[in-house]
Amino acid sequence: MSLRIYGNRLLKTLPNQHTRPTSARVRQAVFNIWQGTIIGCRWLDLCAGSGSMGAEALCRGASLVIGIEKSIHACEIVQENWQKVANHDQQFQILRGNIAQQINKLIGQKFDKIYFDPPYASDLYVPILQAIAQNELLDIEGEIGVEHSHQNWIAPEIANLEVCRQKVYGNTGITFYKNNQ
């Protein structure tokens, strides 16, 4: 299976829906919201799946994209997809493993944009958002986009972060956080 991103570029995805790629509608909406802030940004793609959000960020001029994904097969596809779209002056890296453990390896780095798209029924939302805030991974002017099912969603309150907007696209919700310091 494959999907298309910005510039009509074709990306690979995992077969048999082992990951749930962010829909084209949601990807476009997120990048429209963040337009004008992607060129030169440092992007963190959490639960990267096929890497479509990170690939889109690279296509739109992000200078650095780091992804975290637990599946070895997904990591191989992300690596291939990002290699296909990145320019020679862009950096990217995919970290494989448990997201809670891998995110601690990023302490000391700052990201302008963080996209977090775990399995909707997972219990990752609160601990990972807390880890981002505690480890100060979000740049002072940065934002986090959290993808979730819009049904039964209550945006968790996270110390040092505040909800700055919420959007719904069909069955998908996106909650955006920023620093409140």
How confident is the model over 50-105, as pLDDT tens digits?
899 999 999 999 999 999 999 999 999 999 999 999 999 999 999 999 999 999 99
Q: Are 57 and 65 in contact (CB under 8 A)?
A: yes
Enter the pTM of the model. Answer: 0.92
In the predicted structure, residue 8 carries a pLDDT above the cut 90: no
164 pLDDT above the threshold of 60: yes
Query: Quick one: average pLDDT of 144-151?
Result: 95
Domain boundaries, the chain: 2-16+23-179
CA 139, CA 164: separation in Å to the nearest integer?
15
Predicted pLDDT at 19: 61
Domain 2-16+23-179 fold is Rossmann fold (3.40.50)
Closest alpha carbon to 58 in 2, 9, 107: 9
What is residue 79's DSSP assignment? H
pLDDT of res. 11 = 67
